[in-house]
Amino acid sequence: MMPALMYGLALPGAVAVGTDIFQITISSAYGAFAYGQRGAIHFAMLLPLLIGSTVGTQLGATLTDHIDDTELRAAFGIMLLIGSISVASKTISHTYGIGLLHDLSLTLLLGGALVMSMAILYLGVQNIREERSAARR
């Protein structure tokens, strides 16, 4: 959804991220209720996931305010490309029974997400430092 908001509707990065997170919140609440009714929630995993997503969301919201839209669009464009390659690799793996491509798809997806998260973290922190340095002058 967020790439469609950024690239398709040309919304600023922060607005696209905020809109997407709000949409995810509403649909997740419905999903949690539906799965909870069926007893399909693993409560031991719930607290670590909530803590991680809460901290990640707060950090992401803070960094998004300090990252240029061009940088944000480039990062998400690269992530879309990595995700597309991952999906293609997994599809080919399942179609032709090539286990190595399945492993490649997982590595691309998880590794790509980790690398892009670190890149956004780096860019955000670097931009915050530059803003503070410019404010001191």
Task: Print the domain residue range for 74.
Answer: 66-137
pLDDT, average across residues 58-72: 84
Is 34 part of any domain?
A: no
What pLDDT is recorded for position 60?
Answer: 83
How far is residue 75's CA from residue 71's CA, in Å, rounded to a whole number?
A: 6
Question: Which residue from 54, 57, 55, 62 is spatially nearest to 123, judged by alpha carbons?
Answer: 62
Residue 61 has pLDDT above 90, yes or no: no
Q: Is the whole-model pTM more than 0.85?
A: no
Residue 25 lies inside a defined structural domain of this protein = no
Q: Is position 112 within any domain?
A: yes
**CB 89 within 8 Å of CB 108:** yes
Judge whether 76 lies within some domain: yes
Q: Distances from the Cα of 6 to the Cαs of 26, 58, 73, in angstroms?
A: 20, 20, 7
Q: Is residue 14 part of a domain?
A: no
Q: Is residue 123 part of a domain?
A: yes
Considering the domain boundaries, does residue 50 fall inside one?
no
Total number of domains constituting the chain: 1
pLDDT, average across residues 62-82: 86
Q: Please write the tens of the pLDDT for every residue from 2-50.
A: 778 888 898 888 788 889 889 998 999 999 999 999 999 898 898 898 8
pLDDT, tens only, 88-137: 999 999 999 999 999 999 999 999 999 988 988 999 999 999 999 999 88
- The predicted pLDDT at position 4 comes to 84
Q: Does 93 fall in a domain?
A: yes
